[in-house]
Amino acid sequence: MKVAVLFSGDASSIYSHHLIRKAGLEVSYLVTARASQSTRMYRSHDPDLTRISARSLATPLIEFCADGEDEISPLIEALEPLDIAGLCDGAVASNRRRNRLAKICQKLDIQLILPLWHKDPAEMLANMIEEGYEIMIVMLRREHLDESWLGRVLDRNNLDDFLRACEKNRINPLGEYGEFKTIVLAGPDMRGRIEFDFEKMLSGNLGELKMMRTQLQD
């Protein structure tokens, strides 16, 4: 079965990609939204990071323009020409997101695949770290997470502290509702490691990394 994966290069999309490939599905495309900022449905990353992440997975990347006013039609137009039987997404608990994706898949007569749906996000994150994924926090909202987490790679040593911070602030450990964003630097399915220089940028409630000289290192 050929599928496309809604993709940003974050932990949810990378792990969804991993799980469906492990289940025997063929990932034919990665599909990412280009937006001036994240909408309620699409996570927006630095375009260079997303592109280099797709390159590390050796999978074609389809880009489309999206905005907050119409989250459905642009994705339908992007998927319509593709030879796929399913669409995969990393949704965990957002009924709004699932329902909109279900409407899109119904329109295209394809299957919606949600490998993380109603799974424990803390457990999924721990599994990723155990399996060798390097997950960096590249954006956070400072009322949810302390700025000291910005630019840190989650690992066995700091995972418990991170999960405690998520529990204390009542946020999803995979950042599903935009409290923070991640990028996966390396992992079992990836060819090479994503490396970049960055500066920390703090403005009001927002902390994010300004990327410089991004590359995929063999």
Give the model confidence (pLDDT) of 93-152 as tens digits: 999 999 999 999 999 999 999 999 999 999 999 999 999 999 999 999 999 999 999 999
Q: Is the pLDDT of residue 91 over 90?
A: yes
Question: Given 3.90.1150.200, 2.30.30.700, 3.40.50.620, 3.40.30.10, which CATH number is that of 2-113?
Answer: 3.40.50.620
Q: What is the pTM of this model?
A: 0.93
Give the E-state strand segments of the chain in sequence order. 2-6, 26-34, 61-65, 86-88, 111-113, 134-141, 153-154, 180-186, 193-203, 206-217
Percent of the chain at pLDDT > 90 equals 84
Angle of helix 159-168 relative to helix 121-130, nearest 10 degrees? 170
- Which CATH homologous superfamily contains domain 121-217? putative n-type atp pyrophosphatase, domain 2 (3.90.1490.10)
Q: Is the pLDDT of residue 69 over 80?
A: no
Query: How would residue 218 be classed by pLDDT, with cut points 50, 70 and 90?
Result: confident
Query: How would residue 43 be classed by pLDDT, with cut points 50, 70 and 90?
Result: low
The helix (run of H) or strand (run of E) holding residue 79 is: helix 73-79
The predicted pLDDT at position 44 comes to 63
Q: How far is CA 29 from CA 36, 84, 127, 190, in A?
A: 23, 9, 25, 15
Q: Is the pLDDT of residue 79 over 90?
A: yes
The predicted pLDDT at position 36 comes to 58
On whether the CB atoms of residues 41 and 95 are closer than 8 A, the answer is no
On whether the CB atoms of residues 138 and 209 are closer than 8 A, the answer is yes
Helix, strand, or coil (residue 84): coil
Please return the burial class of 164, using the count of CB atoms within 10 Å of its CB with bins 0-12, 13-18 and 19+: exposed
Domain extent listing, the chain: 2-113, 121-217
